[in-house]
Amino acid sequence: MTTDPWQYFTFADNGEPLQLDSGRSLGPVTLAYETHGSLNADRSNAILILHAFSGNSHVANHAHTGGRDDGPGWWEAMVGPGLGIDTDKYFVICSNILGSCCGSTGPGSPNPETGKPYGLDFPMVTIGDMVRAQKSLIDHLGISRLYAVIGGSVGGMQVLQWCVSYPEMVRTAIPLATTMRHSALCIAFNEVARQAIMADPKWRKGKYPDDDPPELGLAVARMVGHITYLSDKAMHRKFGRKLQEREDLSFRFESDFQVESYLNYQGTKFVRRFDANSLLYITKASDYFDLNNEKEATINRLEKAPIKFLVVSFTSDWLYPTYQSRELVQALKRNGCNVSFCEIHADCGHDAFLLPNKRLTTLIRGFLDGAKTA
């Protein structure tokens, strides 16, 4: 097993298109993925990390594991030798999700029928579809059971979907700062983000050229998202009413306050690294996510599943508040699952799961070590 970063797995190799929850199929499908550490002889130490909405496969710098320096990853504080997810012990896999724009197939990929980007001809994908694609990757890597699936936010939804779809393939599961069904509030914020993009005339019903995307709409969408990742307290501490490089109010429509500059900067920065159509597809996938649907509560497929769960929420997360993690814990317990639950005190909002946090690191390390002897 090589541990080279930025590898690609394409389903076309199998000749089988991916069957989607919508009834449509998609192929060829490519997943970009990266690995850290080494798979052991009996292939029992693999951990699949699932990234959040705008993430990618680059979970940590490969320089820490003897590879080339390819820059910091999005979970640098958690993944590496001796860290919470210890790459000296575990073989870590992280793949970019289906529908995204960081190497995996998404609306920006060429449609084999036209040779041009799919745009809105890309089929709607669900969290279930994302996980189905990942399952093919794990099969391809010759791993029959994952030691753990771990992820926060939309990544946490994938963790839960993995358990529901392939319970026999999951030994332990750590869903962080997430929910088993997307709330009206979350759908509402996602809808605003989508409308901001679709209101931009440069969006052109999804058929925009690479070099002229709907950047103003995408920036507004990101600003909305960014607010929801923070908390009132964190914003007060970080920005308060501090002015941005000025002594007094401008009495003009400029960025008077640091929080305004910060949001504008985040919006503009995002445009350079993310695709507007991917945002539309991934937000819709998370809005569709509901393991406790009245028609079919798929969470109940977990009845007596031999998976050990660690559910973690954060006190100031108002996007996926603790009560939603508690509902998840209750549903899992009702199904006779083995569940540990921890609410971590953190005042930095939903982003807490991504930020360095001793408590979270200790918790994850201990849980993973404990599951080994169990």
Interface contacts to its own copies, rule CB under 8 A: 22-24, 120, 123-124, 181-185, 187-189, 191-192, 194-196, 198-201, 216-217, 219-220, 223-224, 227, 230, 232, 235-236, 238-241, 249, 251-253, 255-257, 259-260, 263-264, 267, 280, 284, 287-288, 290, 293, 318, 321
Residue 350 a catalytic site member: yes
Q: Which is nearer to its own copies, 198 or 342 (CB)?
A: 198
Q: Which is nearer to its own copies, 37 or 156 (CB)?
A: 156
Long-range contact set of residues 325-331: C-beta below 8 Å, sequence gap at least 24: 325/178, 325/179, 327/179, 327/180, 327/292, 328/160, 328/175, 328/178, 328/179, 328/180, 328/299, 331/180, 331/291, 331/292, 331/297, 331/299, 331/300
Distance CA 91, CA 340 (A): 24
> Which of 109, 153, 313, 316 is labelled catalytic?
153
Residue 317 a catalytic site member: yes
Q: Which is nearer to its own copies, 91 or 281 (CB)?
A: 281
Helix-strand-coil percent breakdown of the chain, rounded to 5? 40, 15, 45
Q: Which is nearer to its own copies, 240 or 306 (CB)?
A: 240
Q: Which is nearer to its own copies, 121 or 139 (CB)?
A: 121
**Residue 6, burial from CB neighbour count under 10 angstroms (0-12, 13-18, 19+):** middle
Residue 104 a catalytic site member: no
Distance CA 279, CA 239 (A): 27
Query: In the complex, what is the shortest distance from the CB of residue 245 to its own copies, in angstroms, rounded to a whole number?
Result: 16
Query: In the complex, what is the shortest distance from the CB of residue 96 to its own copies, in angstroms, rounded to a whole number?
Result: 22
Residue 344 CA: distances (Å) to CA of 322, 353, 358, 359, 361: 9, 10, 10, 7, 11
Q: Which is nearer to its own copies, 55 or 217 (CB)?
A: 217
Query: In the complex, what is the shortest distance from the CB of residue 220 to its own copies, in angstroms, rounded to a whole number?
Result: 5
> Which of 62, 317, 325, 351 is labelled catalytic?
317
Query: In the complex, what is the shortest distance from the CB of residue 191 to its own copies, in angstroms, rounded to a whole number?
Result: 5
Distance CA 234, CA 218 (A): 24
- Residue 29's φ and ψ, nearest 5 degrees, are -115, 130
Query: In the complex, what is the shortest distance from the CB of residue 100 to its own copies, in angstroms, rounded to a whole number?
Result: 17
| SS (HEC) of 295-363 | CCCHHHHHCCCCCEEEEEEECCCCCCCHHHHHHHHHHHHHCCCEEEEEEECCCCHHHHHCCCCHHHHHH
Query: In the complex, what is the shortest distance from the CB of residue 301 to its own copies, in angstroms, rounded to a whole number?
Result: 19
HSE toward the beta carbon, residue 25, CA cutoff 13 A: 9
Token pair belonging to 138: 């794990």
Query: In the complex, what is the shortest distance from the CB of residue 41 to its own copies, in angstroms, rounded to a whole number?
Result: 43
Angle ∠(176,178,183) on CA atoms, nearest 5: 170
Q: Which is nearer to its own copies, 187 or 342 (CB)?
A: 187
Residue numbers annotated as active site: 153, 317, 350
